[in-house]
Amino acid sequence: MTLRVAIIGGGPAGIYAADLLTKSGTDVSVDVLERLPAPFGLVRYGVAPDHPRIKEIVKALQRVLSKPEVRFLGNVTYGVDCKLDDLRAFYDAVVIATGAMSDRDLGIPGEELPGSYGAADFVSWYDGHPDVPRDWPLEARHVAVVGAGNVALDVARVLAKTGEEMLATDVPANVHAGLVAKQATDVHVFARRGPAYAKFSPLELRELAHSPNVDVVVHAEGFEVDDASMEHIAANKQAKMVLNTLSNWVGRDPGDKPHRIHLHFLEQPVEILGQESVTGFRTERTRLVGDGGVEGTGDFTDWDVQAVYRAVGYRSTQVADLPFDTRAAVIPNDEGRVLDLDGDPIPGTYVTGWIKRGPVGLIGHTKSDAAQTVGHLVEETTATAPERDPAAVNAYFAERGVDVVEFENWERLDAHEIALGEAEGRTRVKVVEREEMLRRAR
């Protein structure tokens, strides 16, 4: 009998799981339920628009969704349009792959001030996410970005580059207009640890210097490497490449380009300053302590900035009808098997991706993660759902007035966006408003 599986989340984690299920040697029928009218999750709404190379992953994901064993059911919100018990009637197993799209907090005073932003919210804006406001305040001339990962670099780069440079990408008109009008001249990126422990990917770091309008300044203060740092880079090829690139930039003449990205190491956030809005940012110099960690020195600096972006990690949010580990921000699980409050596996319930293990690793890392989950699912799941006709799922949503976007509907929207791009000499132009997405999908 064909195994019926529902995957909640149409991003890379969910689609990789669907792909592996079709390759498992088991006769399967997989429905991918996604709350947005478009698939691909983080690739579409979390990758910076000036990274088309990473967006090429969409082609592979699209091929999975086009498989006859897989159905895409978009514009379906789990927890609103359906509950876990509802899905049990149609599916033998449910896989949660909802990812992580909220920002972690810094936990410092002033974080709630206007002008203090989460990187994930800014990324959603410039990536044209349909559920965020169309406008973004970009009046700040000097900006602080807290974090030492690729998201911090993305935010800094988008803030520093001119709006016209971004016009070659898939940004919608409202984002282009906002970036053209932005006032930022200097973007300061702060990392609590030393340069050997930066989480930047080597390629993304080098891309900072590719803009004809942006100079990269690596400040010598805090650029320290101790024995533990050398041991770390000796065992980590990527960290060594990053450190080599940074070393080549230390003390370099910043040039005369109109915008600058400043990289500061061994500076930890202490307070966001201001009364009614952000007027400054206070950091404390840290020092290496010989084991890869740092400690505060009591040496504080106030930076003249008008906006602060925190890029210190994404955080998953609780999923309806399932337990949630609020400290780790994941669904409790044993190698992808969801666990109840007593630590016992919940039959037919699995998890994969960042909601399973936290927001670490690159997009491709979710493949091995999904393989582990799918392996247990195939081994443990039997046909138990009483209603096995896929058409019954459509009838269920139709009764509830859910305007489901299926794969052929997505293909129409996809073709429309590509046509919009061709008219402007671009690869595509995203449609942003949800109602317009649904209209074009029809």
Q: What is the pLDDT along the chain (442 residues), one digit of tens a residue?
A: 899 999 999 999 999 999 999 999 999 999 999 999 999 999 999 988 988 777 788 999 999 999 999 999 999 999 999 999 999 999 999 999 999 989 999 999 999 999 999 999 999 999 999 999 999 999 999 999 999 999 999 999 999 999 999 988 999 999 999 999 999 999 999 999 999 999 999 999 999 999 999 999 999 999 999 999 999 999 999 999 999 999 999 988 888 999 999 999 999 999 999 999 999 999 999 999 999 899 999 999 999 999 999 999 999 999 999 999 999 999 999 999 999 999 999 999 999 999 999 987 667 678 888 999 999 999 999 999 999 999 999 999 999 999 999 999 999 999 999 999 999 999 899 999 999 999 999 9
Q: What is the pLDDT of residue 366?
A: 81
Q: What is the pLDDT of residue 373?
A: 97
Other C-beta atoms within 10 Å of 45: how many? 22
Q: What is the pLDDT of residue 300?
A: 98
Q: What angle do CA 398, 404, 405 make, to 5 degrees?
A: 155
Q: What is the pLDDT of residue 99?
A: 94
Strand bridging mode 102-103 / 93-96: unpaired
Pick the CATH number of 103-314 from 3.30.2020.10, 3.40.50.300, 3.20.20.140, 3.50.50.60: 3.50.50.60
Q: Start-end ranges of CATH 3.40.50.720 in the chain?
A: 3-100+316-405
Q: Start-end ranges of CATH 3.50.50.60 in the chain?
A: 103-314
Strand bridging mode 280-288 / 267-273: antiparallel
First to last CA, the chain: 34
CA-CA distance, 196 to 200, in Å (whole number)? 10
Q: Which of 300, 296, 299, 278 lies closest to 287, judged by CA? A: 296
167-196: burial string, b at 16+ Cβ within 10 Å, e else:
eebbbbebbbebbeebebebbbbbbbbbbb
Residues 6+ apart with CB under 8 A from 419: none
Structure-token match 């509802």, residue found: 86
Q: What is the pLDDT of residue 258?
A: 95
Q: What is the pLDDT of residue 360?
A: 78
Strand bridging mode 102-103 / 28-34: unpaired
Strand bridging mode 186-190 / 142-146: parallel
Catalogue the E-assigned strands of 9-149. Answer: 28-34, 70-74, 93-96, 102-103, 116-118, 142-146
Q: What is the pTM of this model?
A: 0.93
- Thinking of the domain 3-100+316-405, which architecture would CATH place it in? 3-Layer(aba) Sandwich (3.40)
